[in-house]
Amino acid sequence: MIIPAKRLNRAKSRLSTILEPAGRRELSLTMLTRVIQSSLEAESVSGVVVISSDHLILREAKRLGAEVIEDANDLNAAVTKAMGWCARRGATATLTIPSDLPLLQPKDLDEIVNLLGGRRGIVICPSTNKGTNALLCSPPNLIKPRFGPRSFYRHISEARKRGIPYLTYCSPRVSFDVDIPLDLKRLIVGGTGVYAEMCLRKLLR
């Protein structure tokens, strides 16, 4: 499992209209904690690595039981590096997910992994705005990561061009990330009961 994470002082800049910098940092760290814990609890995940240039994030990830890689490259270069790191340690597949999925549950990750069943190929989960919120690659370096706006379509295009088998996984929990103020409102109004929601109520009261 690969979890790339931005520096806390750069995270969630589009929420600056409703959250102060300290609030955005707390929110980002809360969601990252949930993603790490869900990953560690998933039966199909044998290891979790967080890649970031933020020392606080790396320290928290270690405390929770994840491996860490310090890296200041852009997102796709960092994920590529982490894929290679996993492959050198014997991983037969990698699942990359962002750090801002407040509704993520361990069973979501198990379903993604089980969908491929150990076969060669990729599984892609779109975000609500057609980015990529999960990318399973078996083997790890099967496809070049292309995270970013509309990356769901770019990953599919790359797979088709190279003849790589691919499957899509759609889940409202995995598709939902927090980027803009409307996302925060949906998370709170939805009454999910997760501790990310409690954090948001505190931050926005």
Tens digit of each residue's pLDDT (9 = 90 or more) over 98-147: 999 989 999 999 999 999 998 999 999 999 889 999 999 999 989 999 99
DSSP 19: S
What domains does the chain contain, in order, with CATH numbers? 2-204 (3.90.550.10)
pLDDT over threshold 90, residue 170: yes
Q: Which residues pair with 137 in a beta bridge?
A: 94, 122
pLDDT value at position 194? Answer: 54
d(CA 143, CA 162): 9
User: What is the three-class DSSP state of 177?
Assistant: coil
For residue 47, CA distances in Å to 39, 73, 90 come to 8, 22, 11
- pLDDT exceeds 60 at position 204: no
Q: What is the pLDDT of residues 177-188, one digit of tens each?
A: 888 878 877 777
Cα separation, 160 vs 180, in Å, equals: 32
The CA distance from 109 to 174, in Å, is: 9
E strand map for 23-149: 49-52, 67-70, 94-96, 121-126, 132-138
Burial class (CB in 10 A: 0-12, 13-18, 19+), 152: buried
Q: Which helix (H) or strand (E) holds 32?
A: helix 21-41
- Residue 199 is predicted with a pLDDT of 58
pLDDT of res. 197: 58
- What is the pTM for the complete model shown? 0.91
Predicted confidence band of residue 40 (pLDDT cuts 50, 70, 90): very high
**Residue positions counted in the chain:** 205
